[in-house]
Homo-oligomer: A and B are copies of this chain.
Amino acid sequence: MPEIDLNCDMGEGFGAYKMGDDLTLLEHVTSANIACGFHAGDPGTIARTVQAAVARGVAVGAHPGLPDLQGFGRRVMKVSEGEVYDMVVYQIGAVQAFAAAAGSRLRHVKIHGALYNMAVNDEALSRGICRATHDVDARLMLYALSGSVTERVARELGVPVACEAFADRSYQDDGTLTPRGKPGAMITDVEQSIAQVRRMITEGVVRAQSGKEVRLHADTICVHGDQPGAVDFARRLRATLQADGVRVKAPDFSTTATA
């Protein structure tokens, strides 16, 4: 029976500012990537989001980003491997403490925004991310873009990895995402998004923009929570997959680290 995880970024408010409909989305996803206070999130928001995820049995993860609240972590910044290591350790630790305080434990790490994209093709930044994840807790699983340099580096360093794929993004012939801004980068049709995910899971294939069929492994699907229709999309995707006989659940948590 095939398995898939549905992950969603959460806790991305800040103080008086709200973002996303976290409580409703938590009914439909199996992993929550919780903002850590750098690109979004503050201690109170993290606390409440962790507690809500734990209460619903959703896996709690950290969602570290660049230190750029004003730019929501979406602006590329030139940072070194060492700076990335330090900022990821810090942010994982913050959310990990809330998970412990809620009687649970941190299970995974997913990087946010510009830093995620910068690392996709960058050996040094990927190494900073992977080493930080490993050094805080060698059992933590890293959610990394399927086929990316980050995935490869994680495997080399023995960091448990879940391969992430996207429902609402189109792919190129080499298995990478069509860059945002290029025509057809975003898939706005819900049926098409769901169909893409189904093929990824059942066949391990995605049809690239060119029409070429590309092999792709998906352990977890990213569900964007900050877009109109996000809740409805998550609900339909989950229902469809379950009707297909897919088991929707968070990745198993390794009790023993691989490195």
Q: Which residues of A are interface residues toward B (Cβ below 8 A)? A: 13-19, 37, 40, 42-44, 46-47, 67-72, 74-79, 82-83, 85-87, 89-98, 100-101, 114, 132, 135-137
Contact = CB atoms under 8 A, between A and B. Distances in A.
Contact of A89 (B16, B77, B83, B97): B97
Interface centre among A15, A67, A90 (most CB of B within 10 A): A90
B83 A44 contact: yes
B17 A90 contact: no
- Oligomeric state, in number of copies? 4
A86 B14 contact: no
Interface centre among A19, A77, A92 (most CB of B within 10 A): A77
Given A17-B17, A70-B14, A46 B90 contact: yes
Nearest to A40: B16
Nearest to A76: B78
Interface centre among A16, A82, A83, A98 (most CB of B within 10 A): A16
A101 B130 CA distance: 12
A90 B86 contact: no
A13 B15 CA distance: 11
Contacts of A46: 86, 90
